[in-house]
Each structure stands twice: as C-alpha cells, then as structure tokens.
Structure 1
Amino acid sequence: MQALGCPAYFLLIIGSWKVLSVPAILPPGFTRLKEWAYAGAFFNFSGAVFSHLASGSE
C-alpha cells in the first residue's frame, strides 16, 4: 500500500470492511446484504487493480 501512496491507516479501514463482509457472505439467506457485500468487494478489488496499474509499479 505504501508504494501506491496510501497512508498506513487505510489498510486498517479496508481490512475491517473485508472482515465484516465475511459474515454477510457465508450464511445462507440475507440476499440483499450479500448483494451489497459482493458489490463492495468488486469495487474494492477493481479499485485496487486500477490504482496498481495507474501507479506504474510491478
């Protein structure tokens, strides 16, 4: 994360949201909550890919 120019506390924020999404995705039911968790994960990971590509690091 430091190579992309993000502050260290950003890891804590993103990591806590990932940990909170696990109980939303694993149990059956709660379809609306799962939909939001999957959408959040998609935005998170696609944003990570694009910022990695934009930074030019390998």
Structure 2
Amino acid sequence: MPKAARISTPIPVSSTSENENSDTAQFVTVALFSGVGLLISLVAVIFGIQGVWF
C-alpha cells in the first residue's frame, strides 16, 4: 500500500502588534465608510429625498 508523502510549507509568523494594527486600521476604515453611508441615508430620509431605494 503506497504511503502519502507529507509536504509542509513554513507559515510566516508575524508579530501580534502588526496584526492588531492592521485589524484596527481595517475596522476604522469600515466604520468610517458605514458611518458616512448612514449619515447620507439619514439626511435623505429627513429631507424626504426620493431616490432609487423608494
């Protein structure tokens, strides 16, 4: 019965501070984008602007 060969590739390990900074930067970007979209939608609803969603 043939045996399977196990080939492992090394996974680069980066420091946790770099991962935390990257995650924080991505979270801030998504939060700002979502906040701006919510603000625009709120202003449109308050002023009664009819758009594509109505």
TM-score (structure 1 length as normaliser):
0.48
Structure 2 residues not aligned, in runs of 5+: 1-18
**Runs (4+) off by over 6 Å:** none
User: Alignment identity in percent?
Assistant: 7
Q: Which protein shows a greater Rg? A: 2
Return the offset for 1:33: 0.3
Report the TM-score, using the length of structure 2 for normalisation: 0.51
Query: 1:22-45 CA deviation, whole Å, 9 max, x = no partner?
Result: xxxxxxx61110010011011100
Instruction: State the SS of the aligned residue for 1:57.
Output: coil
Aligned to 1:34: 26
| Aligned pairs, number | 30
Alignment of 1:1-58 (within 5 A): 30-58=22-50
Deviation for aligned residue 1:54 = 0.5
Match of 1:3 in 2: none
- C-alpha separation in 1, matches of 2:36 and 2:29: 10
Q: Unpaired segments of 5 or more residues in structure 1? A: 1-28
Shift, 1:57, TM fit = 1.6
